Structure 1
Amino acid sequence: MTRRPTLITLLLLLVASCGVAAPAQAERIKDMGQFQGLRANQLTGYGIVVGLAGTGDDSLDYSTLGMKGAVSRFGLTLPAGVNPALKNAAAVMITAELPAFSKPGQRLDITVSAIGKAKSLRGGTLVLAPLYGADGQIYAMAQGNLVIGGLGVDAADGSKLTVNVPSSGRIAGGATVERAVDTGFTATDQLTFNLHQFDATNAQRVTDAINQSLPGSAVMIDGASIAIRASGGADERMRLMSRIENLDVIRAEPPAKVIVNARTGTVVINGAVRVGTAAVTQGKLTVSIKESPTVVQPAPFSRGQTAIEPSSEIGVEQEYRPVMMIKPTASLSQLVDAINRMGVPPGDLVAILEALSQAGALTAELVII
């Protein structure tokens, strides 16, 4: 009897169907990293959402204080000791991302999330609130009507229905930039390009590609950073960056890795994995216990009682599978072909890979997530 191939083995077979690895293709430098300093900045703020249909925070202290602060901007002061019921308002946290080189007047998308007991922010309006950077300075002002992707409904008998997350929403273009971030773009005499991942080979190839286009301008700092000589004003630097970003580089082959998701049993093997000489066998032992209790009745007019007599049947079945020989320096396609011939399930595949790694026959880093 043949075993149906599992989804994992089918995926591995699809990867292996290419046979020999495809020739490397050139990539743009801009896809391998970014220039230092040209990054986004996170903004956060605290605000009040009003106009809710009775799904707000009620009388929580921080939402009450926030509402008092909001109305005080208009010269309205609530009497001491008076805490208004705020079922139609909710205290929220506001988050946004300020892209590099953002200028005053530009718009940002913001995310608004309830921080109290508000059940839903549907139909709410965010009251004008400042957004702060990590340095404590105000960089944007946020306000607008929320768009909620969730829905929450409560019935009189206590039953509830919730779709997605109604206590969080977004406002497209809900914040206006008030202050630009100084990136120090023209303050130094060099630019630094940082790779997304540390790799000395890729850093060397990027450096060589830049020096071929701009002789003597690039120096490799380490396996993740390249220093590029730059001069002149902002216009010359931006032209230099544009020229560098569009240079082509053949990316180095990644390190050999086997990624195992212990929760789902998913196994991903990249093309750099190699296997040394090894013999692998995988057995299957099945023990079955069948209970067939029998009801025993006493003889007529006797003093006996009805009883149940247990009856168990134990069976053991062991499936024989031959030893598979894996050739030295086997490629990914050869490894997958051997695994497919064995017909092992994902759980046993993980065990085999771990055993190969412990035996020193697997030339790869085994990562379990």
Structure 2
Amino acid sequence: MARFALHSVIKIGLLGLAFSQSPAMAERVKDIASVAGVRSNQLIGYGLVVGLNRTGDKNRFTSQTLRNMLLQLGVTVPPGIDLKSKNIAAVSVQADLPAFAKPGQTIDVNVSSLGDATSLRGGSLLMTPLRGADGQIYAVAQGNLVVGGLSAQGLDGSKVTVNVPSAGRIPNGATVEREVPTGFAQGSHLMLNLHTPDFTTANQVADIINRTYGGSVARALDAASVQVSAPHDPAQRVSFTSLIENLDVSPGEAPAKVIVNSRTGTVVISSHVRVQPAAVTHGNLSVTISEKPIVSQPPALSGGSTAIVPRSDVTVNEEANRMFVFNPGVSLDEIVQAVNRVGAAPSDLVAILEALRSAGALRAELIVI
């Protein structure tokens, strides 16, 4: 028996999350904006992990890397010898170099297998230079890996893998060798970049700075940038930036949005969602198809053969329609209450919102991810 539900396409669940209409809470400037030029830089390197328990690579380029490393250490491997060491793995090493990191400080590194190694557990990364986008070496990594994954295999071929054993991490595994210059102490201005561009928030940030320090110290250039006049002396600029980033600002409220995640079954509706006057009817239409084949038996001595004849019963059931009216400017709370009163499922809510948007009655952006 096949059963089809025609009233909805996407089956999702509604997360009971509604935002009440309350005044925006004040936030610090440092929580909603960052200083231009003060940023981290990504580093990458290629190296070898040794000391594995026969879980390393079995390819040729790892053997070639091992041969080159031994040559740099003064060990010459005779030509024609294939270095097939299963306790070595070729890996990529990644790290984020924070702003203002000084030579001698340490940073964390992530290590991932590049070849066919099955596990990096118990391995140790040999000295690996880490380069930036400009090709310069900014840090050197080395140390024992911390691997959160586990892999075990039996003689009969059965295998169990927990998490990802082919990737690991070395806390404080890289030492900074070169400082990245920043433009923080240069020029006569600081540039504050908002994490979420918004004209209202940019104007609020400039306004609170000017009201605190007087004059026209700050001005909003666009929805994401606020230019602030700053002292030329580096020490005074640090103190001034510290005062700026701790000012409290009431950011602008986000635009009305309805976000639907069809994979996790989540619907999030912001508090500013409004609906224009509209009448909505909702009902379920179900089609049931039952297959009841019968056997056709021919008369005796007729020369015919027994055959199975299909027979289908099609039934259409429609629930009583339920209509409700959305008044002008109806709020999120009223929408949810109206849908709950008629017993609609979360998927029905999505269908209703889609219909309202198509009719031009939904005053919000509908995003399906």
Q: Give the alignment's TM-score, normalised by structure 2.
A: 0.91
Tell me if the contact between 1:124 and 1:146 (Cα under 8 Å) persists in the aligned partners: yes
The one-letter amino acid paired with 2:212 is S
CA distance in 1, matches of 2:14, 2:280: 17
CA RMSD of aligned residues (A): 2.0
What is aligned with 1:252?
252
Match of 1:167 in 2: 166
Written as runs of structure 1 = structure 2, the 5 A alignment for 1:203-218 is 203-215=202-214, 216-218=216-218
Contact preservation (8 Å) 1:59, 1:87: no
1:3 alignment counterpart: none
Structure-to-structure mapping, 1:232-243, within 5 angstroms = 232-243=232-243
Mapping for residues 215-364 of structure 1, pairs under 5 Å = 215=214, 216-295=216-295, 306-364=306-364
Q: For the Cα contact (< 8 Å) 1:278–1:361, is it kept in 2?
A: yes
Q: Which residue of 1 aligns with 2:7?
A: none
Q: Could you list the runs of 5+ residues in structure 1 that have no partner in the other structure?
A: 1-5
Q: Secondary structure at the match of 1:238?
A: helix
Structure-2 residue corresponding to 1:184: 183
Q: Find the counterpart in structure 2 of residue 77 from structure 1.
A: 76
Q: Distance in 2 between matches of 1:146 and 1:297?
A: 75
Secondary structure at the counterpart of residue 315 of structure 1:
strand
CA distance in 1, matches of 2:314, 2:33: 62
Q: Any stretches of 5+ residues in structure 2 without a counterpart?
A: 1-10
Shift of 1:308: 3.6
User: Which stretch of structure 1 is more off in the superposition, 265-274 or 245-254?
Assistant: 265-274
* Alpha-carbon distance between aligned partners in 2 of 1:40 and 1:273, rounded to the nearest angstrom: 37
Give the partner amino acid of 2:187.
Answer: T
Contact 2:186 2:232 in 1 (8 A): no
Q: 1:254 to 1:289 in 2, by over 3 A?
A: same
The aligned residue for residue 33 of structure 2 is: 33
Per-residue Cα deviation, 1:313-366 (whole angstroms, up to 9, x for no partner): 322110012221001011111111122223222333222212211211111111
Q: Could you report, residue by residue, the CA deviation over 1:163-190 in whole angstroms, capped at 9, with x for unpaired residues? A: 1111000011110111111112212111
Counterpart of 2:16? Answer: 11
Quote the Cα distance in structure 2 between the aligned partners of 1:314 and 1:59: 61
CA distance in 1, matches of 2:233, 2:44: 33
Q: Which moved more, 1:66-75 or 1:164-173?
A: 66-75
Per the alignment, residue 138 of structure 1 pairs with 137
Tell me, in whole angstroms, the C-alpha distance in 1 between the residues paired with 2:336 and 2:165: 46
SS in 1 for 2:70: helix
Check whether the contact 2:14–2:266 (CA below 8 A) recurs between aligned residues: no
Q: Given the two structures, how large is their TM-score scaled by the length of structure 1?
A: 0.91
Determine the C-alpha separation between the residues in 1 that align with 2:302 and 2:220.
100
Q: Is the 8 A contact 2:13 2:346 kept in 1?
A: yes
Q: Percent identity?
A: 52
Contact in 2 for aligned 1:35/1:192 (Cα 8 Å): yes
